[in-house]
Structure 1
Amino acid sequence: MTAPARPTAPARPTAPALLTAQGLSHTYPDASTPALRGVDLRIGVGESVAIMGASGSGKSTLLHALAGIIAPTAGSIVLNTPAGPIRMEELNENQRASVRRRDLGFVFQQGLLLHELSALENVAVALMLGGTPRPEAELAAAQWLARLGLAGMEQRRLGELSGGQAQRVAIARAQVTGARLIFADEPTGALDSATSAEVLDLLLDSVEPADARSGGRSLVVVTHDRAVAERCARLITLSDGRIVADESNHGTAGLSGGTGGTGEAGATAGERA
């Protein structure tokens, strides 16, 4: 008998905003048309959000802008942190890099792990870049690897790990700093269906509502795979650099109050990875 499918992430009531974007637009220097056109978006604490769209729709550009990888041409992005709100568009590159190290976590399709480092070192380095002493960083890294089913594999390098195991290392690296917002860009794109489901389970398990113990953790996934998107509590669809649909996968549109941008329609420049 086929095992029952793992349930999708549960819908959550409206929660405090973790990240809010307003009027977000971006045009690349060598492009004649914008990649983003006036996007408004709210990510609630404890929310899992999937972003879908055809190639060139602006979804990777949106993720990169929200995550402070690029500075938007126009608009505002506010990230609410325990130390207070941060207006990302007002930061220079060094300041945005500091926010990425401290407050955000990343999981990419190819992991972007360092091949010359062991699994343990790949995770520990995320803490060491923030000033954590190596022994303390490696202890925390080992605990996260064990939590994700990689106990005993700490000293393996990427060539000694399967694709799914490498993505587990990437997930551990994204979470070891205590980041409250995890961005995943096509995290299952290079994996077979069974391994994809396992990796997605781990990402969804990282989502936490705010409570007395935790400040909460949210997940934003960019994907081409509708099966992946439908596991998240909320699905946002982009076309021509603007949000054309924002709906709950559990029957209530705009679960946490996110809204689409209202910029003019038109062809966009190709997405930049």
Structure 2
Amino acid sequence: MNRPAPLLTARGLRKSYGTTHALDGVDLTVEAGESVAIMGPSGSGKTTLMHILSGILTPDAGSVHFTGAGTGSTNGGTEVSSLNEEARAKLRRERLGFVFQDGLLLPELTAVENVALPLMLSGVPRPAAESHAAQWLAALGLEGMQTRRLGELSGGQAQRVAIARAQVADPHVVFADEPTGALDSATSASVLGALLDSTVGRGRTLVMVTHDQATADRCSRLVRVADGRIVADSAAATTGGVR
């Protein structure tokens, strides 16, 4: 039986900033339904890798192929690295979700407005977008907090709002960059549980950059990066080869 194509396939990724090689020929595949933790020291290239996989950055060389339907799809996939900036923005908005360490919520908006924003940017009428956003807030334990602004939320609550915003458009992949890095250990564990449940718990895929081993241990796969290269991949250990 033929296996389905990987959700994300990166081949030969290279990215430099001046004389610094952030990525030096990286190959990586990510299967649908995985939770992948990417770890490495500061400057190792892990965040650059995530940004290229998600279309925030383009590589100097190499390619990223995304098999989820969306902008620029041909034969069931999208060559993310070849899309122009507008097309990559559309892909990120409609097919990908993002959670960052500081949330990047808009402080002038309420919780429900922050969550509804991706839908409204895609043309969903505000009442429908906010209704769907309120459902996600409730699912993440924030029922009754729809009208609160950022200053009225705890750190953990704000990150749950950020998770709801990442999930509201039902993305194929959620990319998370140190999503619990600014939280205490108890809140971190709770927020990470909400992120995993709302992503891989629904059959979606999570790709997460983290410095925290305890956070990485809760993912199904660990990829270690150093000096712009993948130096260890737990998937290779279980499959007997490099993915």
Q: TM-score range by the shorter chain?
A: over 0.9
Deviation beyond 4 Å, 4+ runs, structure 1:
254-258
Deviations 1:159-195 (A, max 9, x none): 0000000000000000000101000000000000000
The answer to which structure has the higher helix fraction is 2
In structure 1, what is the equivalent of residue 16 of structure 2?
27
C-alpha displacement of 1:129: 0.6
Which of residues 84, 99, 109 in structure 2 aligns to 1:117?
A: 109
Higher relative contact order (CA 8 A, sep 6+): 1
C-alpha displacement of 1:256: 11
Counterpart residue type for residue 101 of structure 2: Q
Question: What secondary structure, in the 3-state scheme, does the structure 2 residue paired with 1:139 have?
Answer: helix
The correspondence of residues 121-136 of structure 1 with structure 2, limited to 5 A, is 121-136=113-128
TM-score normalized by the length of structure 2:
0.93
Question: What secondary structure, in the 3-state scheme, does the structure 2 residue paired with 1:81 have?
Answer: coil
Aligned CA RMSD, in angstroms, stands at: 1.7
In structure 1, what is the equivalent of residue 237 of structure 2?
253
In structure 2, what is the equivalent of residue 199 of structure 1?
191
Contact 2:5 2:67 in 1 (8 A): no
Q: Does 2:50 correspond to 1:56?
A: no
C-alpha displacement of 1:82: 3.1
C-alpha displacement of 1:16: 4.3
Which of residues 223, 244, 260 in structure 1 aligns to 2:231?
A: 244
In structure 2, what is the equivalent of residue 221 of structure 1?
208
Question: What secondary structure, in the 3-state scheme, does the structure 2 residue paired with 1:243 have?
Answer: strand
The correspondence of residues 64-83 of structure 1 with structure 2, limited to 5 A, is 64-83=51-70
**What is the distance in 1 between the residues matched to 2:183 and 2:104?**
15
Task: Give the direction of change, closer, same or farther, for the CA distance of 1:106–1:38 in structure 2 (3 Å limit).
Answer: same
In structure 1, what is the equivalent of residue 73 of structure 2?
none
TM-score normalized by the length of structure 1:
0.83
Task: Give the direction of change, closer, same or farther, for the CA distance of 1:93–1:37 in structure 2 (3 Å limit).
Answer: same
Q: Does 2:75 correspond to 1:88?
A: no
C-alpha displacement of 1:254: 5.1
- Give the number of equivalent residue pairs: 236
In structure 2, what is the equivalent of residue 268 of structure 1?
none
In structure 1, what is the equivalent of residue 168 of structure 2?
176
Counterpart residue type for residue 59 of structure 1: K
Unaligned runs of 5+ in 1: 1-13, 260-273
Contact 1:42 1:257 in 2 (8 A): no
The correspondence of residues 151-170 of structure 1 with structure 2, limited to 5 A, is 151-170=143-162
Unaligned runs of 5+ in 2: 71-75
Counterpart residue type for residue 18 of structure 1: L
